[in-house]
C-alpha cells in the first residue's frame, strides 16, 4: 500500500523571516492532527538551513527545488547535492516545468541531476508534464513517455525506490485550471504502466506518483481519491498554512 505524499513547492517566495513564520504556523496546525500522509516542504535555498532546524521533531520533511549535477567547482550560482544534504534536505524537486521552460533544462540535464541526487542519497521528486498545445494536438502521452524514459535513463530498479514522479500538466500550473480527476488519472495510469514495462510490476506498484497543477483544499480530495494518484505537489496553495493543511487533510 503506497503512502500518500503532500509536497509544497514554495518556488521563489518567502524570505527567511516569512519562511520561519510559515513553518511555525504549519507545525502548530499539524500538532493537532495525525496526518495520513508524508508532508514535504520545499522552501528556497536561502531558508533551507533554518527550515531544517525548525522541522526537526515534527512530521514535516525537507526538500529543495533544484540542484546542479556536478560535485563542486566553477559553476557560479549553482548548488550541489551534497550541499543540500548538508543542510538537512531529504528530497529535491527536479525537472519542474519552470526549470524546463524558463531555464531551458532538457531531459539529458534532468537525467544527470536525477542520477547525481540518487548517488548523494537525495530523493528526487521528478516532474513531467505536457504543454497546452501538446494536450490539444493529442501528443500528451508521447511527451510524457519521452520525459519519463529520458529522465530515468540508466536509473536502476533499486534506485526507483527513492524516486517520486510528479505529473504536472504545464497548462494547470499556477493557472487555476486543474486537470479533471479523470484526465489526471489517465496520465498517472499511463506512467505506472510505462514503469511496469521498463522495470517490473513491483517497481510500478511501489512508485509514488503525485499530481500537480492548481491543487487546492476544495479539489484535493477528489483528485487524491483516484487509484493512481498518490498525493500532490502544491505550488500556490502551500504558501498559506491553512490552505496547505486543507490539502493534507484531503489526503
Ligand atoms: C507547482 O509549481 O509545482 C504547482 C503545482 O503550482 P500550482 O499548485 O500553483 O499550480
CATH classification of the domain holding 120: 3.20.20.70
Say what the pLDDT of residue 108 is: 98
Q: What are the start-end ranges of the E strands in 137-222?
A: 164-167, 208-212
Please answer whether residues 92 and 124 qualify as being in contact, where contact means their C-beta atoms are separated by less than 8 angstroms: yes
| Catalytic residue of the set 105, 130, 134, 168 | 168
* 53 three-class SS: helix
Helix axes 217-224, 181-198, angle to 10 degrees: 50
Percent of the chain scoring above 90 in pLDDT = 94
Residue 106 pLDDT > 80? yes
> 5, 95, 173: which to mutate for ligand 1, most atoms within 8 A of CB?
173
> 166, 236, 237, 239: which to mutate for ligand 1, most atoms within 8 A of CB?
236
The CA-based diameter of the chain, rounded to the nearest angstrom, is: 48
Please answer whether residues 55 and 42 qualify as being in contact, where contact means their C-beta atoms are separated by less than 8 angstroms: no
Residue 1 pLDDT > 80? no
**Closest atom of ligand 1 to CA, residue 93:** 3
Hey, which residues does 42 pair with through a beta bridge?
9
Query: For 214-232, what is the mean pLDDT?
Result: 96
Say what the pLDDT of residue 249 is: 94
Say what the pLDDT of residue 36 is: 87
Whether residue 188 lies in the annotated active site:
no
What's the structural domain count of the chain?
1
State which residues form the domain around 145.
Answer: 4-250
pTM assigned to the model: 0.97
**Closest atom of ligand 1 to CA, residue 216:** 8
Say what the pLDDT of residue 33 is: 83
Say what the pLDDT of residue 34 is: 84
Of the candidates 72, 30, 37, 67, the one whose C-alpha atom is nearest the C-alpha of residue 210 is: 37
Amino acid at each position: 500500500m503506497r503512502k500518500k505524499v503532500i509536497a509544497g513547492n514554495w518556488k521563489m517566495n518567502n524570505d527567511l523571516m516569512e519562511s520561519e513564520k510559515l513553518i511555525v504556523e504549519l507545525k502548530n496546525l499539524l500538532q493537532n492532527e495525525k496526518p495520513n500522509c508524508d508532508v514535504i516542504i520545499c522552501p528556497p535555498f536561502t531558508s533551507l538551513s533554518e527550515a531544517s532546524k525548525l522541522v526537526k521533531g515534527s512530521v514535516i520533511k525537507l526538500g529543495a527545488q533544484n540542484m546542479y549535477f556536478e560535485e563542486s567547482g566553477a559553476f557560479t550560482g549553482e548548488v550541489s547535492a551534497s550541499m543540500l544534504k548538508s543542510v538537512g534536505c531529504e528530497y529535491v524537486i527536479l525537472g519542474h516545468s519552470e526549470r524546463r521552460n524558463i531555464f531551458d533544462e532538457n531531459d539529458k540535464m534532468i537525467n544527470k541531476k536525477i542520477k547525481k541526487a540518487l548517488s548523494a542519497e537525495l530523493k528526487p521528486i521528478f516532474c513531467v508534464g505536457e504543454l497546452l498545445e501538446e494536450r490539444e494536438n493529442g501528443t500528451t502521452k508521447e511527451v510524457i513517455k519521452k520525459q519519463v524514459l529520458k529522465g530515468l535513463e540508466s536509473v536502476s530498479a533499486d534506485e526507483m525506490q527513492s524516486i517520486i514522479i510528479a505529473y504536472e500538466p504545464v497548462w494547470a500550473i499556477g493557472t487555476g485550471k486543474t486537470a479533471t480527476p479523470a484526465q489526471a488519472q489517465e496520465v498517472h495510469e499511463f506512467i505506472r504502466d510505462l514503469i511496469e514495462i521498463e522495470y517490473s510490476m513491483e517497481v510500478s506498484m511501489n512508485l509514488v506518483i503525485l499530481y500537480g497543477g492548481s491543487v487546492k483544499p476544495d479539489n484535493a480530495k477528489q483528485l487524491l481519491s483516484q487509484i493512481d494518484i498518490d498525493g500532490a505537489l502544491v505550488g500556490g496553495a502551500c504558501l498559506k498554512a491553512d490552505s496547505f493543511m486543507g490539502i493534507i487533510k484531503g489526503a
